[in-house]
């Protein structure tokens, strides 16, 4: 489901791609069966295009990456987290609009 600018984050690559990233990272915790998650998809795609080169935008499928879901205590999806310097700086639960997510990325230095 990830587009060309949207990275797929997994248990295996999360440390390198997100926690050690030199730029802010927006992570969408989602699942294929989740209607609101699918509704958020176009917003994530738009952000990935808008912030290409300035931030990483990606998705974590909570069904196939259960360790990450547990680590970040994902109790409801979609949950979007913005990371900077390996730390969570913003968390959004439920459908969130592009302007709100853009503002969080800008605040993290994107």
The Cα-based distances of 21 to 18, 36, 38, 84 in angstroms read 5, 28, 26, 8
Pick the catalytic residue from 6, 18, 37, 101.
Answer: 37
In the CATH hierarchy, which fold is given to the domain comprising 6-107?
Answer: Glutaredoxin (3.40.30)
Phi, psi of 47 (to 5 degrees): -65, -40
What is the pTM for the complete model shown?
A: 0.95
Note whether 23 and 105 are within 8 A (CB): no
Our answer to whether residue 34 is catalytic in this structure is yes
Q: Is 37 a catalytic residue?
A: yes
What does each of the 110 residues of the chain score in pLDDT, given as a tens digit?
A: 456 789 999 999 999 999 999 999 999 999 999 999 999 999 999 999 999 999 999 999 999 999 999 999 999 999 999 999 999 999 999 999 999 999 999 999 99
What are the residue ranges spanned by the domains of the chain? 6-107
Question: Which of these is catalytic: 34, 45, 89, 91?
Answer: 34
């Amino acid at each position: 489901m990830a587009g060309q600018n949207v990275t797929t984050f997994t248990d295996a690559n999360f440390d390198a791609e997100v926690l050690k990233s030199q730029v802010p990272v927006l992570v969408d915790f989602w699942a294929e069966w989740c209607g609101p998650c699918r509704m958020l998809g176009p917003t994530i795609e738009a952000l990935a295009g808008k912030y290409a080169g300035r931030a990483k935008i990606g998705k974590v499928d909570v069904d196939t990456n259960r360790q990450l879901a547990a680590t970040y205590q994902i109790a409801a999806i979609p949950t979007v987290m913005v990371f900077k310097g390996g730390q969570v700086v913003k968390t959004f639960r439920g459908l969130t609009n592009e302007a709100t997510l853009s503002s969080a990325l800008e605040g993290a230095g994107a």
